[in-house]
Each structure stands twice: as C-alpha cells, then as structure tokens.
Amino acid sequence: MIEVQNLTKRYRDRVAIDGLSFTVNEGEILGFLGPNGAGKSTTMKILTGFLPPSAGMARVAGFDVFEQPLEVKRRIGYLPETPPLYPEMTVHGYLKFVASLKRLPGHAVKAEVERVAGLTGVTDVLGRIIQNLSKGYKQRVGIAQALLGSPPVLILDEPTEGLDPAQRAEVRALIKGLAGKHTLILSTHILPEVTMTCEKVLIINQGKMVAYDEIRKLASVHGQAENVSLEEIFIKLTAA
Ligand SMILES: Nc1ncnc2c1ncn2[C@@H]1O[C@H](COP(=O)(O)OP(=O)(O)OP(=O)(O)O)[C@@H](O)[C@H]1O
C-alpha cells in the first residue's frame, strides 16, 4: 500500500532524509521511530504530498506522491505534528468543513462527523469552540479530521502527544482497532506504545534507516537478551 524507494530530502545543504526504502502492506501498522530531528516528519510530509522529495520515489495505493498528488491525498488521512485546526470554529463546524474539503457527499456528512466524533471521544464537545478545548481534546479533533471519509491510509505524526495516560490508552486502542481496515504509519516517541500497537518498526537516525523489521525479530537481532526492550534497542541504534 505504501512503497518508498531511495527517498532523499535536502533542505539546502542539510540532508534531512537519506536514501530511505521501505514498504507497508495493506492493513499493517508501521511504527516510525527516531530521535528529534531524525527526519520522521519530513518523510511523512513527502508521503502525504506536502513536500517534494529531492530524489527517490514514494507511492501510495499505487499512485506516485509527486506525479499524482491528488489521487494520493484522496486516499490518505493525515495528522501532522501540529493538528491543522481553525481555533475560532466549533468542533462540529470544523469537522463539517474538513468533510466538505474531502468532498464527502452532502447527505453523508452528518453521519460521518458523528461516526468519527464517537470514535475519538469528542461527541460531547462538538458544540464548543476549538480554541477553548484542552490540548488533549484538540489532539482528538485532529485525529477525527484524519479519519473523516475513512481513507485507506492513515499517517499519524505523534497522535498521542499532549494526551493524559487514560486518553493515551483510549487512542492506542482506537489505533489498534484501525489495523486491518486501514494501513497506518504511526510516529511516536513513546516506545511502549509502538510495542503495544505495531507489528513492524522502522527506526531512523540522522535521516538514515538503522532498523526495519518486525519488533519480535529486532529483539533477537539487536539484543543479547531475549526480553530486551524496544527502548534499549532504540538507544543502542540511535546513540551515534
Ligand atoms: N523547512 C526546513 N528547512 C530546513 N531544515 C529543515 C526544515 N524542516 C526540517 N528541517 C531539518 O531536517 C531535519 C529533520 O527534521 P524532521 O522535522 O523531519 O525531524 P523529526 O524526526 O520529525 O523530529 P521531531 O521528532 O523533533 O519532530 C532536522 O535537522 C531539521 O532541522
């Protein structure tokens, strides 16, 4: 569903990502990890058609992200690092607005807004102005807009950022429930979250891939002990 080959992005003389190659099969959740500045957001922005790559190729659902960006955008729900909210709108007004941008048929909008509001736990705040919501609720609204229209591919950049532990557990359960029906890339700094949610993990450091495997296999390749944690593997691989 997602195919990336030799993807490279330079910002002037700074190489943000360097020759990344990976695939995500339909229905899989890929945990995407790396220290601050490793290039995760840059990769996600390229996959969602917000940034052009400097070299390499990325395809989503068979469409080239650079040559057919509209086809790609139609199939992707994206939660950027900073959720793209309009603070002066109500949650309901905002979700209706995003539904119209996504060209959802008018007759389906009401039910779809109710569906994603229910999934993300924002039904009770639908009438409130976004700027008055807590950070956690704003984050949920960001996830809700990504789910509108039930796109086959979801790219979530730190979806549990700013949530309290109970909300985090709820969002984790929600994400887990999306597997199978959607193909997901999930970026997070909370490593136990990846262990609980994803089968496969991709770790990058300074723009380069340092690990890409099923989590249970990583432990046997990179750890001496069988019960080595993802955190230990991450620290070992990104220490450079
Ligand atoms: N618009 C830009 N212009 C110049 N350099 C940039 C730009 N955006 C990102 N970078 C640089 O590219 C590198 C990768 O940044 P990116 O935001 O992709 O990292 P990240 O892994 O998402 O980090 P974080 O975990 O802190 O969000 C960093 O060195 C960053 O400073």
Q: Which residue, among 124, 127, 123, 128, has the nearest Cα to 111 in the 3D structure?
A: 123
Question: What is the distance of C-alpha 231 from the center of its chain?
Answer: 20
* 32 touches 4 (CB < 8 A): no
pLDDT of 216: 80
* Residues 125-149 pLDDT 10s: 999 999 999 888 998 999 999 999 9
Say if 9 falls within a structural domain. yes
Amino acid 173: pLDDT? 86
pLDDT exceeds 60 at position 225 = no
**Is residue 168 assigned to a domain?**
no
User: For 2-39, what is each residue's pLDDT tens digit?
Assistant: 999 999 999 988 999 999 999 999 999 999 999 989 99
Phi, psi of 92 (to 5 degrees): -65, -45
Amino acid (one-letter) located at 101? L
Tokens representing 193 are 């979250």
* Pocket flag, ligand 1, residue 48 (CB < 6 Å): no
CB of 13 shorter than 6 A to ligand 1? no
Pocket of ligand 1 contains residue 39 by CB under 6 Å: yes
Q: Are strands 200-205 and 29-33 parallel, antiparallel or unpaired?
A: parallel
Joined together, the tokens standing for residue 211 give 């690990």
Question: What is residue 240's predicted lDDT score, i.e. its pLDDT?
Answer: 62
Could you tell me if residue 124 is inside a domain? Answer: no
Output the residue whose Cα is nearest ligand 1's atom 24. Answer: 36
**Tokens read off for 88:** 């002066």
Q: Which residues contact 139 (CB under 8 A, 6 or more apart)?
A: 83, 159, 160, 161, 162, 163
- Is the beta carbon of 142 within 6 A of some atom in ligand 1? no
For residue 234, is it within any domain? yes
CA angle 97, 27, 6 (to 5 degrees): 90
- Radius of gyration, alpha carbons of the chain: 18
Q: Which residue has the least CA distance to atom 30 on ligand 1?
A: 37
Q: Which domain holds residue 28?
A: 1-75+153-163+185-240
For a mutational test of ligand 1's pocket, the pick from 10, 17, 40, 202, i.e. the residue with the most ligand atoms closer than 8 A to its C-beta, is 40
45 domain-assigned: yes
| Residue 208 within any structural domain of the chain | yes
Chain-centre distance of CA 9, in angstroms?
19
16 within domain boundaries: yes
pLDDT computed for residue 164 by the predictor: 86
Beta bridge partners of 213: 201
Distances (CA, A) of 196 to 154, 162, 229: 18, 19, 12
CB 21 within 8 A of CB 209: yes
Query: Does any ligand 1 atom lie closer than 6 A to the CB of residue 33?
Result: no
Strands (E), the chain: 2-11, 14-24, 29-33, 55-60, 63-64, 76-79, 153-157, 183-187, 200-205, 208-214
Residue 4 sits in a domain of what CATH number?
3.40.50.300
Q: Report the domain count for the chain.
A: 1
Q: What pTM does this model have?
A: 0.89
How far is the centre of ligand 1, averaged over its atoms, from the C-alpha of 204 (Å)? 13
Residue 5 lies in a domain: yes
**Ligand 1 close to Cβ of residue 11 (< 6 A):** yes
Summarize pLDDT for 159-205 with one digit per residue, the tens. Answer: 888 788 888 888 888 888 888 889 999 998 888 888 888 889 999 99
Percentage with pLDDT > 90 across the chain? 57
